[in-house]
Amino acid sequence: MISFWENDSFTNYNLIVVGSGIVGLTTAIEYKEKHPNNRVLIVEKGTLPSGASTKNAGFACFGSLTEICDDLKNMPKEEVISIVEKRFKGLNNLRIKLGDDALDFKQLGGYELITEEQAHYVTRMEEINALLYPIFNDNVFSDRSDDIGTFGFNKDKVQKLLFNKFEGQIHTGKMMSALLKIARQLDIEIITGTKIEEFYDLGDKVICSSYNNRAKIDFYANKCCICVNAFTQQLLPQLEVTPGRGQVLITHPIKNLPFKGTFHMDRGYYYFRNYGDRVIIGGGRHLDYDGETTTELKTTKPIIENLISILNTTILPNTPYKIDTKWAGIMAFGDKKTPIIKLLSDRIAIGVRMGGMGVAIGSQVGIELAHIVSNLEHQDQ
């Protein structure tokens, strides 16, 4: 039961955004900047943002050579180029909005470790460089195989090393904290620990209902954006969005860590980077696709052991290290790699399915979503 006062002050908005990941926060910020007098509410089910945006590995990336080659097998060329472009634009927007210091952005470059079986991909480097040239005005990929030894990788496992100078790394927590700070400065209201269970377009407004502590609270708005990524099916079971868990671990600081940068392996199924003198490694979802198609936030022994074995055999074969901590986060996938950005009704828009590279593209999706709802003809000031 809520009071007259609560109803009067806390339940009516111009825009409600469901989900406070990178997409939800960017959407709310972009919209509020255009409509400073409008009331904007973000509703988040977790105490902290609880999806992928605070759990990721902090790669500011656009796609590795092998991944792009594989995408070209499954998607039209134009779509592959467009998704790389959106990621690049998204990263640039994020850097402009937050600043490199707030993001702790470091353009150390990205690398891809190529095994003997994958050597055929390297023959396509020129073709892929030509394809991406209009986006970057430069060749993206180059051969850096001379660094395999310098970086201390196992030469029996790594035959070639490709370099992408445009890739960088961020501090994921700092990025999210900077976005939250901007949202608060703009007077965007944020309610955490509240799960929206259902929402409807009532024709003249939108209702979003939560059942917190067994009390039903209905929030009303002129418009609503659904930004719940991997949790989409809980609200919209008909949409083609499948959750995919990602598991990550970080080492304690390593003396004389021989490499810096972001690194991709096995067509993106594994990734690792330095964070200062620590190593963060994640991936391995393909080892148990069914088990990892879940929204359950926990790590599992087989995948963590697999990540440790890759550290031991390929990445740090001669360097002693200790694991500090491990965690899991939930991504959203579908039959296509492109995000879903669309109107569900005259008043409700959705931006979900960011895949495994959502840091860069997420901010671009937020901008597009804010644009879509701004253009709806409902009482924007």
Ligand X SMILES: Cc1cc2nc3c(=O)[nH]c(=O)nc-3n(C[C@H](O)[C@H](O)[C@H](O)COP(=O)(O)OP(=O)(O)OC[C@H]3O[C@@H](n4cnc5c(N)ncnc54)[C@H](O)[C@@H]3O)c2cc1C
Tell me which residues touch ligand X (CB under 6 A). Answer: 18-24, 43-46, 49-53, 55-59, 61, 195-196, 227-231, 235, 246, 248, 282, 329-331, 354, 356-360, 362
Nearest approach, Cβ of 23 to ligand X (angstroms)?
4
Nearest approach, Cβ of 42 to ligand X (angstroms)?
9
Comparison of 22 and 29: residue with beta carbon closer to ligand X? 22
Q: Is residue 30 within 8 Å of residue 367, measured between CB atoms?
A: yes
**In Å, what is the CA distance from 357 to each residue of 39, 190, 205, 379?**
31, 26, 34, 35
Nearest approach, Cβ of 324 to ligand X (angstroms)?
16
Comparison of 122 and 347: residue with beta carbon closer to ligand X? 347
Tokens representing residue 379 in the block = 């009482």
User: Which DSSP letter does residue 106 get?
Assistant: B
Q: Is residue 278 within 8 Å of residue 360, measured between CB atoms?
A: no
Tokens representing residue 279 in the block = 């190593």
Comparison of 35 and 264: residue with beta carbon closer to ligand X? 264
Tokens representing residue 257 in the block = 């860590």
Nearest approach, Cβ of 381 to ligand X (angstroms)?
26
Query: Residue 339: CB partners within 8 Å, gap ≥ 6?
Result: 351, 352, 353, 354, 355, 361, 365
Nearest approach, Cβ of 265 to ligand X (angstroms)?
13
Nearest approach, Cβ of 59 to ligand X (angstroms)?
3
Nearest approach, Cβ of 360 to ligand X (angstroms)?
5
Comparison of 21 and 109: residue with beta carbon closer to ligand X? 21
Comparison of 11 and 145: residue with beta carbon closer to ligand X? 11
Comparison of 132 and 360: residue with beta carbon closer to ligand X? 360
CA 98 to CA 94: how far, in whole Å? Answer: 6
Tokens 């467009």: give the residue: 82
Query: Residue 41: CB partners within 8 Å, gap ≥ 6?
Result: 13, 15, 16, 17, 188, 189, 190, 191, 219, 221
Comparison of 122 and 223: residue with beta carbon closer to ligand X? 223
Q: Residue 10: is it exposed, middle or buried by C-beta count within 10 angstroms (0-12/13-18/19+)?
A: middle
